[in-house]
Amino acid sequence: MSDIFTEVDEDLRRERAKALWKRYGRYVVAVAVIAILAVGAHTWWRSYEQSQQLEMADRYTAALAGGGESAPAETAARLEEFAGTAGEGYRLIALLRAAGFYGEAGEHRAAADIYGAIAADQSVETLYRDLATILGAGQAAQTEGADAAALLEEVAPHTVEGTPWRFIALEVAAGLALQAGKPDRAREFLGTIADNQEASQQSRSRAGEILRAVGE
């Protein structure tokens, strides 16, 4: 009888951990977009100075206005439309943000499709294609019939030391491992974040909370 109670307790903890990951997943995407802005800002600004693309800057701002978190799907659609005629730098950030807004709206298939298109685009720098692969897996996992185990294997190579998006990948991988019924692997990913001072305080806090939920 005690084995049954132990099994039920473990299942409850895993479900709570999955719920925590779903709650925190949006923050992982937000951190990634901020990182993109930081990495690409100088290049895009230089391009802006050279071409004086004031109209494009205004159009990008307009696409973001009047919606955001209150109407994420509509904002995503405007950004996607803008990306169709934007220059390279603006196009990439617009698509990344559109995918993020689709995810916020619960339109995970649309978000995953955008990330997938970025990841497959050979004209995009590998740095950003890798990020799209990671975030796309996180969104695809939330679609009907998703194979979390297969998605985990797509993300796993980006969790090793020295990869540029390691801590974002570790968080996504932990969520995928939980969904795939691999709590031990999830603990491994989360423990790597929680014990590493190179990870942000926010990432370490999230990892610690989910670790406690799943059972250290």
Q: Give the DSSP per-residue string, 72-114.
A: HHHHHHHHHHHHTTS-HHHHHHHHHHHHHHHHHTT-HHHHHHH
Residue at 133 is within a domain: yes
* Distance (Å, whole) CA 18 – CA 23: 9
Residue at 123 is within a domain: yes
Residue 28 amino acid letter: V
CA 158 to chain centre: 13
User: Residue with structure tokens 């030391």?
Assistant: 161
Average model confidence (pLDDT) for the chain? Answer: 81
User: Does 5 have pLDDT greater than 50?
Assistant: no
Report the run of H or E that residue 125 belongs to, with start and end.
none
Instruction: Name which residue leads in pLDDT, 4 or 148.
Output: 148
Residue at 188 is within a domain: yes
Residue at 6 is within a domain: no
What pLDDT is stored for residue 87 in this prediction?
79
- What's the whole-number mean pLDDT along residues 72-91? 89
Which of 4-8, 14-18, 73-77, 177-181 has the least mean pLDDT? 4-8
What pLDDT is stored for residue 81 in this prediction?
94
Which of 54-58, 109-113, 143-147, 177-181 has the least mean pLDDT? 54-58
Residue at 180 is within a domain: yes
Q: Count up the domains in the chain and report the number.
A: 1
Which of 58-62, 169-173, 179-183 has the least mean pLDDT? 58-62
User: Which among 152, 52, 47 is positioned nearest to 92, based on CA atoms?
Assistant: 47
* Distance (Å, whole) CA 144 – CA 141: 8
Residue at 2 is within a domain: no
* Distance (Å, whole) CA 56 – CA 38: 19
Q: Structure tokens of 3?
A: 């084995």
Residue at 4 is within a domain: no
CATH number for the domain spanning 97: value is: 1.25.40
Half-sphere exposure of 12 (CA within 13 A, CB side): 6
Long-range contacts of 114-119 (CB under 8 A, 24+ apart): 114/80, 115/139, 116/140, 118/92
Most confident stretch, 28-42, 47-61, 62-76, 162-176: 162-176
User: Which among 96, 31, 113, 101 is positioned nearest to 66, based on CA atoms?
Assistant: 101
What pLDDT is stored for residue 77 in this prediction?
95
- What domain range includes position 25? 13-214
In percent, the amount of the chain with pLDDT more than 70 equals 73
**Distance set, CA 90 to CA 48, 80, 81, 212 (Å):** 10, 11, 12, 40
